Amino acid sequence: MKSPHLDKELTQHLLKIAFFVLGALLILQSFPREGRFRYTFQEGKPWRYGLMTAPYDFQIYKSEDQLENERALALNDFKPYLRMDTSMFEKQLATLKADFHTKYRLTVPMHYLDYAVSQLKVIYATGIVSNKDKEALLDDSIGFVVMVRNKMAHTQSINSLFTASEAYEALFQNLPPSIDAVQLKACRLNNYLTENLTLDKEATQREKEALLATVSLTSGLVQRGERIIDRGEIISAETFQVLSSLKRVAEKRQADVGGVGVLIGQIVLISGLFFLQFLFLWFFRPFTYKRKANVAFVLIMITSLVLLTALVVRSGFATVYLIPYAVLPIMVRTFFDSRTALFAHIITVLLSSAIVPYPYEFLLLQITAGMTSVYSLKDLTQRSQLVICALLVFLTYSIMYLGVSLIQEGAILRINPMMFAYFLLNAGLMLSSYLLIYLFEWLFGYTSNVTLVELSNINNPLLRQFSETCPGSFQHSMQVSNLATAAAQEINANVQLARTGSLYHDIGKMLNPVFFVENQSGLNPHDSLTPEESAAIIRKHVTDGLKLAHKHKLPLVIRDCIRSHHGNGPVRYFYTKFKNEHPDEPVPDVFFYEGDLPMSKETAILMMADAVEASSRSLKTYTEESIAGLVDKIIDNQIAEGLYKHVPITFRDLEKLKSVFKSKITSFYHARITYPEAPGVTQPPLIE
């Protein structure tokens, strides 16, 4: 029968693997499916590879500018097709004659009708086109059109065509003496002017396509084995066109025969890099891998940046150098460690390099920028640190780009100055990391050093209440904090966590302050209680502290410090008292704390510092020997009780911690000299 614990572990493990698979699928979906040319090159820059010869025969394609010019020349002879409706004149003529005999015969002489008919015949034979069509033709600089009339076509100037308004004006130009303009206008001849020309879109499109087809897309042929370029040679405009043509042909050949191959290659690349990230977390960061939220966070950071890269490259509306890749190592370093941050950053950059146009330059700049961000931001506790980090990343980008460009260009004046503006904007976007810290803390339950610094402020409402309610316990916590800070620095633990956790570890004493000796000033309430009752009250300060921590929404890492600062060890004083009074009886559970054992260096340091500081107050004499003996005895007893069996700490670390505690306790209780009083001299009052 399988253990439920093993089943749960397997489920968690499979869920984390599913996270990796989902991230890989999202990235795979964003990758371009077409094959990529293996070389990157730019006009006017040196060729970075070896001798290039044509691998097969291929045509040299003209550049887009060249094709555009040749197409424009070809379209100089372009003539749109207009189709004439010959029946329109007959219809309007019949209407005019009918109206003349019914409306105007009595007031307008008959020869006016003859004049109107002759003029309309000329106008309709020339053609009437709509205002919209004529304006469009003139805007396109069209000089002539092809007029199709009764299946017969002829060329005609666009300026000779009438619009309805122009035709009406033409009726009144050069009137013979026998025609009066006023009487002619009375015939309302504008009612008989209608467009009889329409644009034949199909014939026009066929004509345009036929002219464009005369423009050849290629300008020559490169034969197999023909030399193209060699290492170090500057890529001229002609060579650039040859290389661009080879790239076009090569990618088309890959698309024709290797679509499945490209997909398989992308699957292998993405899966391989994600597998490396998985192995790193599993083997080298098991504590990070244990929590599925940690795995999800790392994968979200990697996947989101790769997807953003694919979006920018595909859209072309910006450059990838505006994407603040250094945000990833900053975020991962803030919540985990430097090596995890750098490894995740390298995986992200390698995946993104498969999408960007110039992968070598991209890799060089992004990896060095990521290294700079990790090394310059060991502990983020102040906003100024992030500003300095952003400036250093900007300098890294600029220096590395300058070096790469000088290698490629050979002259500083040929370097693109806009790149430095992109780097500056990139550094500015890095400052958003400060806001992202709070977002990720809220989403994943993390605690950054920024938050720990804020919590360690003794003006924090909870700490201020602690100092007022339990002044003795608060002073004890301050001393423990000093010890823990020095100890954490000595063994490279999280100093800020050790400091802040120490300040809050005894807040549970606020609910029963007088039952703790450091807060008593005379009567001891334990004198009237049994050892069992006293032990129950003393050990309750751990659970009370956890309740207060939950109420005040303290981070989980601070709650861990509260929960584990006594572990499951005995309530020492009353445990010993009970043993002395009842030597043959088993010790009840009430004499043992209900906390967890320390799991990290920081919680172990707190347990040691708490015990050492509290016990040091009971020493009768403060000498180096007595302090050293006390520290050794306490820590050795804790080790013997197995309180640190889950902590990743070495014997060497333990010796360092003992040395720090001895030194600090000695400095706390150093001897002070007594100042002699001069005869007859009265000491001034302290407060006037």
d(CA 260, CA 345): 29
Among 426, 444, 462, where does a domain finish? 444
Strands (DSSP E) along 85-159, which ranges? Answer: 144-149, 152-157
Q: What are the structure tokens assigned to 676, written together?
A: 């002699």
pLDDT at 576: 85
313 and 353 in contact (C-beta within 8 Å)?
A: no
543 and 478 in a single domain? The answer is yes
369 and 453 in a single domain? The answer is no
The answer to the question of residue 312 being in a domain is yes
- pLDDT > 60? residue 258: no
Angle, CA 485 vertex, CA 480 and CA 491 arms, to 5°? 125
Task: Give the tens place of pLDDT for each residue, 111-151.
Answer: 888 888 888 888 888 888 888 888 888 877 788 888 888 88
**Mean pLDDT of the 35-50 span:** 77
**Mean pLDDT of the 434-451 span:** 90
Task: Give the tens place of pLDDT for each residue, 200-239.
Answer: 888 888 888 888 888 888 888 989 989 998 887 888 889 9
Mutual orientation of helices 471-490 and 495-504 as an angle, nearest 10°?
160
568 and 596 in contact (C-beta within 8 Å)?
A: yes
Q: What are the structure tokens assigned to 490, written together?
A: 């000595």
- pLDDT > 60? residue 2: no
- pLDDT > 50? residue 686: no
Among 401, 426, 444, where does a domain finish? 444
Three-state SS for 444-497 is HCCCCHHHHHHHCCCCCHHHHHHHHHCHHHHHHHHHHHHHHHHHHHHCCCCHHH
Q: How many domains does the chain fold into? A: 3
Where do we find the tokens 């981070």? Answer: 555
pLDDT at 311: 93
Grouping H, G, I as helix, E, B as strand and the rest as coil, residue 2 is coil
More confident residue, 113 or 598: 598
pLDDT at 257: 59
- pLDDT > 90? residue 187: no
**Mean pLDDT of the 601-611 span:** 95
The answer to the question of residue 15 being in a domain is no
Category of 403 on φ-ψ map: left (φ > 0), alpha (ψ -120 to 50) or beta? alpha
Task: Look up the CATH number of the domain holding residue 345.
Answer: 1.10.1760
428 and 466 in a single domain? The answer is no
In 10 A of CB 558, how many CB atoms? 23
pLDDT at 3: 59
- pLDDT > 80? residue 5: no
The answer to the question of residue 521 being in a domain is yes
Grouping H, G, I as helix, E, B as strand and the rest as coil, residue 391 is helix
The answer to the question of residue 106 being in a domain is yes
431 and 456 in a single domain? The answer is no
More confident residue, 46 or 641: 641
584 and 629 in contact (C-beta within 8 Å)?
A: no
pLDDT at 4: 63
- Confidence band (pLDDT; 50, 70, 90) for 599? very high
d(CA 647, CA 417): 53
- pLDDT > 60? residue 44: yes
Cross-strand bridge partners of residue 128: 162
Question: Can you count the helices (H) and strands (E) in the chain?
Answer: 27, 8
Range(s) of the domain holding residue 302: 285-444
379 and 353 in a single domain? The answer is yes
Q: What are the structure tokens assigned to 300, written together?
A: 């979200």
Mutual orientation of helices 359-376 and 327-335 as an angle, nearest 10°?
30
342 and 330 in contact (C-beta within 8 Å)?
A: no
Q: In whole angstroms, how far apart are CA 226 and each of 59, 109, 233, 239?
A: 13, 87, 16, 13
In 10 A of CB 306, how many CB atoms? 24
- Confidence band (pLDDT; 50, 70, 90) for 621? confident
Task: Look up the CATH number of the domain holding residue 458.
Answer: 1.10.3210
Q: In whole angstroms, how far apart are CA 442 and each of 408, 446, 448, 553, 555?
A: 46, 7, 11, 12, 10
Mean pLDDT of the chain: 87
Query: b/e map of 177-200 (b: 16 or more CB within 10 Å)?
Result: eebeeeebeebebeebbbbbbebb
- pLDDT > 60? residue 333: yes
148 and 82 in contact (C-beta within 8 Å)?
A: yes
- Confidence band (pLDDT; 50, 70, 90) for 687? very low
Edge-to-edge strands, sheet with 197-199 = 152-157, 144-149, 81-84, 197-199
Among 213, 239, 256, where does a domain finish? 213
**Mean pLDDT of the 97-110 span:** 81
416 and 410 in contact (C-beta within 8 Å)?
A: no
**pTM above 0.85?**
no
619 and 483 in a single domain? The answer is yes
Task: Give the tens place of pLDDT for each residue, 337-382.
Answer: 999 999 999 999 999 999 988 888 999 999 999 999 999 887 777 8
pLDDT at 675: 54
Task: Give the tens place of pLDDT for each residue, 308-324.
Answer: 999 998 887 788 999 99
In total, the chain counts a number of residues equal to 688
89 and 138 in a single domain? The answer is yes
pLDDT at 35: 64
- pLDDT > 70? residue 682: no
pLDDT at 674: 54
The answer to the question of residue 686 being in a domain is no
Task: Give the tens place of pLDDT for each residue, 508-556.
Answer: 999 999 888 888 777 888 888 888 888 899 999 999 999 999 999 999 9
Task: Give the tens place of pLDDT for each residue, 632-681.
Answer: 999 999 999 899 999 999 999 999 999 999 999 988 876 555 556 656 55
552 and 649 in a single domain? The answer is yes
Cross-strand bridge partners of residue 3: none
d(CA 160, CA 147): 12
The answer to the question of residue 539 being in a domain is yes
The answer to the question of residue 124 being in a domain is yes
The answer to the question of residue 4 being in a domain is no
Grouping H, G, I as helix, E, B as strand and the rest as coil, residue 220 is strand
Which H or E element spans position 58? Answer: strand 58-61
More confident residue, 452 or 139: 452
**Rounded percentage of the chain residues whose pLDDT exceeds 90:** 42
d(CA 202, CA 200): 6
486 and 385 in a single domain? The answer is no
For every residue of 593-610, DSSP letters joined together read: ---PPP-SHHHHHHHHHH
d(CA 181, CA 164): 18
- pLDDT > 90? residue 688: no
142 and 77 in contact (C-beta within 8 Å)?
A: no
Least confidently predicted of 436-450, 473-487, 581-595, 667-681: 667-681
**Mean pLDDT of the 423-432 span:** 93
Q: What are the structure tokens assigned to 527, written together?
A: 């004198």
Amino acid identity at 596: D
d(CA 148, CA 138): 19
512 and 649 in a single domain? The answer is yes
- pLDDT > 70? residue 579: yes
571 and 593 in contact (C-beta within 8 Å)?
A: yes
Instruction: Select from 390, 388, 413, 416 the least CA-distant residue to 401.
Output: 416
Q: What are the structure tokens assigned to 265, written together?
A: 């290659």
pLDDT at 93: 86
346 and 377 in a single domain? The answer is yes
**Mean pLDDT of the 583-598 span:** 87
388 and 379 in contact (C-beta within 8 Å)?
A: no
641 and 575 in contact (C-beta within 8 Å)?
A: no
Where do we find the tokens 């009406």? Answer: 168
Q: What are the structure tokens assigned to 373, written together?
A: 């961000």
399 and 490 in a single domain? The answer is no
- Confidence band (pLDDT; 50, 70, 90) for 685? very low
Where do we find the tokens 């306790």? Answer: 665
**Mean pLDDT of the 386-413 span:** 88
Task: Give the tens place of pLDDT for each residue, 261-292.
Answer: 788 889 999 999 999 999 999 999 998 999 99
Category of 188 on φ-ψ map: left (φ > 0), alpha (ψ -120 to 50) or beta? left
Instruction: Select from 138, 98, 126, 119 the least CA-distant residue to 196.
Output: 126
pLDDT at 630: 92
